[in-house]
Structure 1
Amino acid sequence: MKHPARPWLIGIAAVLVLGVGVLVLVVRAKLPTGAEVAAQVATSFEKRFGVALKVGGAHWSLLPAPVLVLTDIATEQPRPITLRRIALQLRLAPLLHRVIAVDDVEIDSLVLPRTSVQAFRGKGPKPAEGGGDLVALPTPWTLAPVPVELLRWRDVVWIDRRDIALAYDGEIAFDPEWRPRQARIERAGVSPPVRLRLDREAGQDRWRTRIDAGGGTWNGVARFETLADGKLRASAELDPHQIDIESLVQAFGRSTPVAGKVSGHSTLEAQTDKAQDLGALMRSLHTRTTFSVQPATLTKLDIAKAVSTAGISRGGRTALDELTGTLDTQSTDDGVVMQYSNLQARSGVLSASGKLRLFNRKIDGEVAVDLVDGVVGVPLKIGGTVSDPELSLTGAALTGAAIGSAVLPGVGTAIGARVGQQVEKLFGGGKPAPAKPPARPSRKP
């Protein structure tokens, strides 16, 4: 249930400067050598972004079409951004008129450590300018209405704050003003596939959006617009359908305490000022998903154990007929905050409600479990981490130790004993022990 858009796209945009900034050299009367091209790329990159660059090799040719290839590129950072190869194929006719028009950009094996990409924050292309400030061309050189027709990449690796490396393949075909006409982005080497596809609708700033994930779909419409106050907004309305949660999160190197197939409705919105870069737009992303998982399994929590022992419970499983709720996510500089609200769970005569917050893999929440036809409410605290969650009874839950023998405030020993029996019955922990017949009064001699 995570949203699919990610900041490594900024890195793909940044590497385009490696070739476009020196294309003017290719059509000069005195053609430069490969070493001169490599040196000019490194100089232009450092001047543009303030980060030194090493270029291992450069090769270009004019016939049958102008082509520039750069290899073995690395930024001079503690953990460098590396690029094995980038190739640019240009149109010759526009070049003769001092217009830059690139038919095809191919990126192969780009590695983007998150800590290194942060050095480029605020230096990327502005959304209002459509990325036009990515390179500064000398007068009278200009960019074509569609500067790049097709951008393709293979094995672009994003390394996140937890040092998890995820590889992506994809391609984007552009219309004027850098609007994607068609786009495909997918996680490399995972099955079932996790893939995003965009198709522009009749030249509008509206895209048909199709996502394959976890054996299901997450389809809808995405939009880009300028608001009345001048701000820019990207938004989407998507409907997840029968997406296997475990398969989806495993495709991104994560684990989940909930298993099952999710369906529902999602809204996504990102908003920024025109003066900010595309990274700021991505970092403002907020999503909301109303979801239903039928059936669902809590793969790392045993509610029966937590309730029946009146202590801290870790591990185990809880089968549910249904789990519903709302998930809000908000991107921040330190990660994504996930808020689950209106959680409702049902299993036989069990019902539960609650909320929780997940940030940097830490869980904080509360759940109220209703047993015995809703007569008894047992408040539970959820804590720990995603990989090791824990349940415990809140301080006000009990006045004794175990529920089976405790006196619940305002309910009495009879209900307390019944709860202890129902817990085992509901969660498959064994049949409740038969009640003992009442003792007969002794007769006086």
Structure 2
Amino acid sequence: MKHPVRRWLLGIAAALLLGAGALVLLVSARLPSDDEVAARISETFEKRFGVGLKVGNADWSLLPTPMLVLSDIATDQPRPITLRRVKVQLQLAPLLRRVVAVDALEVDSLVLPRESVSAFRGKGPKPHEGANVVALPAPWTLAPVPLEQVRWRDVVWIDRRDIALAYDGEIAFDTGWRPRQARIERAGLAPGLPPARLRLDREAGQDSWRTLIDVGGGTWNGVTRFEMPAEGKLRFSAELEPREVDIQQLVQSFGRNASVAGKVSGRSMLVAETEEVGALMNSLRTRTTFTVRPATLTKLDIAKAVSTAGLSRGGTTPLDELSGTLDTQGTKDGVVMRYTNLKARSGVLTASGNLRLFNRAMDGDIAVDIVDGVVGVPLKIGGTVSDPVVSLTGGALAGAAVGSAVLPGVGTAIGARIGQQVEKIFGGGEPEKKPAPKPSAPQR
């Protein structure tokens, strides 16, 4: 699943910040009115984050159960973060002892445009702050488990391409803000798509969680670990095993279209380190070794590119098997994806290559063997995910023309290969890109 940890962290952070403002109000010498509550929350939020906050309505009561309900909330931004309703329910007995313990926090219809959320970058809680993540005036303190449970419905993340994805979920906490159990599910999937959901179950007394993911009609299960030191960086790692996951259903579940069809299996490793909880996903690195058997390239016709020794767009390529390694690196501008050691097989035809994908732009090289493992026809991959282009480089194309004149078929391939090497020797080709550094293996 793409970006699941970021979704619940952002949802929790947004709701906690609003709830924290309400908790501070309870220390007032006199009970404030609803309008005063709304004004104080707006004032506290703007002072903390430098962004204005409009609270449409605040409704709170102390008895029989301390409760605060805020509705119609929006940040003062060109494209505001909006929240239809948030409800905070506290425990009365601890409150009488000036200890804050929240029974439940419920978030309903939170919309998070990426460009608006980025305004809060660097202003979120730090891992070393621990229990001090919510500041309270003395002598008030937080309970060992400040928040028992958070539930959300219809939390929507809008990415840079304006794709809006909704999520439902809930988290139950242990001490130290450790989730005891968590459930996150893609909401509003198109009819016919199987569920896309994540469940975490904490292993007793450990900072590790059994991870169960259902997506694309298959599973992506394993173990997740969070290391939350008293000082220093938060470290996240996971070891997961995709099994029979339908690639097209997987990407469609997250508003994308796939250029490969088939069911993938393999092994994934994820690592991230950060000094700020909200920046966790930007530091995420992953490595997945995969096999798709059988597979279909849905937007490329490799055979056509080889036979014409020139430019090719569109078409499909059925494969008996496709395998390789996918490395991803999160950045503030998107996720860089690098496919290495790609190997494809279809009957007597085999191919190998590498591909880089960033913001939907493709850049790669493949060699198609028309005599198994002996002659590789060099091809360049360019264009975009939705409109890929396969072609020969200038030198390879010239070599292919000479080879075709001498000996059609195999001669064309040999000529293309020679032309490519000559082009590289004399500096006519693209400079070789250094491979991305491998992510370190998660520590057990």
The secondary structure found in structure 2 opposite 1:118 is: helix
Of 240, 259, 275, 1:257 maps to: 259
Mark the CA change 1:4 to 1:358 in structure 2 (over 3 Å): closer, same or farther.
Answer: farther
- The separation in 2 between residues aligned to 1:84 and 1:229, in whole angstroms, is 36
| 1:12 to partner: Cα distance | 3.3
> Hey, what does 2:417 align to over in structure 1?
none
Mark the CA change 1:402 to 1:252 in structure 2 (over 3 Å): closer, same or farther.
Answer: farther
The secondary structure found in structure 2 opposite 1:397 is: helix
> Hey, what does 1:358 align to over in structure 2?
357
> Hey, what does 1:334 align to over in structure 2?
333
> Hey, what does 2:153 align to over in structure 1?
154
Of 184, 203, 210, 1:201 maps to: 203
> Hey, what does 2:404 align to over in structure 1?
406
| 1:228 to partner: Cα distance | 12
Q: Is the 8 A contact 1:270 1:282 kept in 2?
A: yes
- One-letter amino acid of the structure 1 residue matched with residue 252 of structure 2: Q
Q: Is the 8 A contact 1:83 1:109 kept in 2?
A: yes
- The separation in 1 between residues aligned to 2:378 and 2:365, in whole angstroms, is 7
| 1:66 to partner: Cα distance | 1.1
Q: Is the 8 A contact 1:14 1:124 kept in 2?
A: no
- The separation in 1 between residues aligned to 2:210 and 2:249, in whole angstroms, is 24
The secondary structure found in structure 1 opposite 2:306 is: helix
Q: Is the 8 A contact 1:400 1:407 kept in 2?
A: no
Q: Is the 8 A contact 2:363 2:382 kept in 1?
A: yes
- The separation in 2 between residues aligned to 1:417 and 1:310, in whole angstroms, is 8
Mark the CA change 1:323 to 1:201 in structure 2 (over 3 Å): closer, same or farther.
Answer: same
| 1:226 to partner: Cα distance | 5.8
- The separation in 2 between residues aligned to 1:23 and 1:400, in whole angstroms, is 74
| 1:360 to partner: Cα distance | 0.5
Q: Is the 8 A contact 1:399 1:406 kept in 2?
A: no
| 1:76 to partner: Cα distance | 0.4
TM-score when normalising by structure 1: 0.88
TM-score when normalising by structure 2: 0.88
The secondary structure found in structure 1 opposite 2:124 is: coil
Mark the CA change 1:414 to 1:193 in structure 2 (over 3 Å): closer, same or farther.
Answer: closer
Q: Deviations over 1:216-235 (max 9, x none)?
A: 00000011226899543110
RMSD: 2.2
Q: Which one is further off, 62-71 or 350-359?
A: 62-71
Point out the structure with max Rg over C-alpha. Answer: 1
Q: Is the 8 A contact 1:8 1:158 kept in 2?
A: no
> Hey, what does 1:277 align to over in structure 2?
276
- The separation in 1 between residues aligned to 2:369 and 2:268, in whole angstroms, is 29
- The separation in 2 between residues aligned to 1:354 and 1:181, in whole angstroms, is 43
> Hey, what does 1:21 align to over in structure 2?
21
- The separation in 2 between residues aligned to 1:146 and 1:229, in whole angstroms, is 20
Q: Which runs of at least 4 in structure 1 moved beyond 6 Å after TM superposition?
A: 400-403
Mark the CA change 1:354 to 1:401 in structure 2 (over 3 Å): closer, same or farther.
Answer: closer
> Hey, what does 2:108 align to over in structure 1?
108
- The separation in 2 between residues aligned to 1:16 and 1:232, in whole angstroms, is 19
Mark the CA change 1:226 to 1:102 in structure 2 (over 3 Å): closer, same or farther.
Answer: closer
Q: Deviations over 1:153-193 (max 9, x none)?
A: 00001011111111111011000110000001111022311
> Hey, what does 2:183 align to over in structure 1?
184
Q: Is the 8 A contact 2:283 2:329 kept in 1?
A: yes
| 1:393 to partner: Cα distance | 1.6
> Hey, what does 2:410 align to over in structure 1?
415
- The separation in 2 between residues aligned to 1:251 and 1:358, in whole angstroms, is 20
How many percent of aligned residue pairs carry the same amino acid?
73
Unaligned runs of 5+ in 2: 415-444
- One-letter amino acid of the structure 2 residue matched with residue 13 of structure 1: A
Number of aligned residue pairs: 411
> Hey, what does 1:372 align to over in structure 2?
371
| 1:305 to partner: Cα distance | 1.2
- The separation in 1 between residues aligned to 2:3 and 2:118, in whole angstroms, is 21
Unaligned runs of 5+ in 1: 420-445
> Hey, what does 1:63 align to over in structure 2?
63
